[in-house]
Amino acid sequence: MKAVYNPCVSTAQPSRSALFPRSFTKAYPQAVRGEGVWLFDAAGKKYLDFCGSAVVNFIGHGVKQIADAMAEQASKLEYVHGSQFVTDVAEQFAREVLDFAGENFRGGAVFFTSGGSEAVETALKLARQYQVEIGQTKRHRVLSRRQSYHGATMGAMAVSGNLLRREIYLPMLRDSTKINSPYPYRCPYHCTDQCDKCGHKLAQELDEALSSCYGEAAAFIFEPVSGATLGAVTPPNGYLRDIAGIARRHEILLISDEVMTGFGRTGRNFCYEHWSKGDWAPDIIWPNIAARLECAMNPPAETNRASPVATAYARYRTHSV
């Protein structure tokens, strides 16, 4: 680093980037462009982008059709606030998302946000507001799982279960009740069959935790396949179906975090479908669409809930999201 003059001190100080980096001990290459799966830095070095940036760019870099569509929309209308306007393009896209989500979400609704953590925060608020709208004002607690990751903002961090990432912020968080995640490598029941037989026991942990909430639980949040902090761990057969049944019996919402698994990444439109035959579905999903365009989706009465989420808002709404 070269030395630069700082009038506030008597000696020259080494210069550094104006950016606040993820690490002050690492030197980062400067990315200048991308082509498909490839990234190029300022020195001309080529990188294979295995990570899809932060697991968000699964259409590739430099796709001309995407850039052209963005430019065309920006030339017509850049942004309007949802409290005052709707747009035809947002309405059309929301209908496409619901169609893609399938029969379980027919008649539902889409709420667009600008990132994964914001989508989680919105989903948590939606769950609380839903309970208030139907008269269950005691219900405010959101249960989650250990070793889960749902985002970096305060509410998302509160329901996340990675101890290292949460440790210094714990005094600031309103923590949530957490149950074990299915994790055969370190199974809490010491199984030797990849959790094939203890999936029911793991689901029963939710039943017991909800019973200890004394009617204050509003929702349970989970990743169908564990992502950022557990390394693509899949649930045992029957586990998610048990979880869905327990949530229904306790009259709480089931929130599925598909930021890393949604929109075809696992071979199904949404990851939970691997363990559903159409007999159950989450109440709220937040997937990740291309460059961090997020949404929460609310399914209709076909999921056999006491009152579908979107309908409750339309009928009783007294608060804004």
* Mean pLDDT across 251-262: 91
102: left (phi over 0), alpha (psi -120 to 50) or beta: left
- Please report whether residue 105 resides in a domain: yes
H/E stretch holding 179: strand 178-179
- Please report whether residue 257 resides in a domain: yes
Mean pLDDT over the full length of the chain:
84
238 and 145 housed in the same domain: yes
Residue at which a domain ends, from 57, 78, 99: 78
Domain range for residue 90?
Answer: 86-316
Distance CA 266, CA 264 (A): 6
Q: In which band, very low, low, confident or very high, does the pLDDT at 4 lie, cut at 50, 70 and 90?
A: very low
Whether the predicted pLDDT of 194 surpasses 50: yes
Q: What is the pLDDT of residue 10?
A: 46
The pTM (predicted TM-score) of the whole model is 0.84
Q: What is the pLDDT of residue 14?
A: 55
Residue at which a domain ends, from 31, 59, 78: 78
| Tokens (6 digits) for 227 | 């992502």
Distance CA 123, CA 172 (A): 20
Q: In which band, very low, low, confident or very high, does the pLDDT at 203 lie, cut at 50, 70 and 90?
A: very high
Percentage of the chain surpassing pLDDT 70? 85
Distance CA 302, CA 313 (A): 17
Residue pLDDT, tens place only, 43-81: 999 999 988 877 777 788 999 999 999 999 999 998 899
> Sheet of 178-179: strands edge to edge?
109-113, 293-298, 284-289, 253-258, 217-222, 141-145, 178-179
Q: In which band, very low, low, confident or very high, does the pLDDT at 313 lie, cut at 50, 70 and 90?
A: low
Please state the φ and ψ torsions of residue 164, each to the nearest 5 degrees: -65, -40
* Mean pLDDT across 177-181: 93
Distance CA 244, CA 224 (A): 12
| Tokens (6 digits) for 231 | 């390394």
Whether the predicted pLDDT of 131 surpasses 70: yes
- Please report whether residue 181 resides in a domain: yes
**Structural domain count, the chain:** 2
| Tokens (6 digits) for 311 | 């309908």
- Cβ-based neighbours of 306, under 8 Å, separated by 6 or more: 134, 251
115 and 62 housed in the same domain: no
Distance CA 196, CA 192 (A): 9
Assess contact for 308 and 114: CB atoms under 8 A.
no
Specify the CATH number for the domain of residue 282: 3.40.640.10
Q: What is the pLDDT of residue 167?
A: 86
Q: In which band, very low, low, confident or very high, does the pLDDT at 321 lie, cut at 50, 70 and 90?
A: low
Whether the predicted pLDDT of 11 surpasses 80: no
Assess contact for 108 and 284: CB atoms under 8 A.
no
102 and 45 housed in the same domain: no
| Tokens (6 digits) for 57 | 């760019």
Residue pLDDT, tens place only, 217-232: 999 999 999 887 887 8
162 and 277 housed in the same domain: yes
Percentage of the chain surpassing pLDDT 90? 48
Q: What is the pLDDT of residue 189?
A: 87
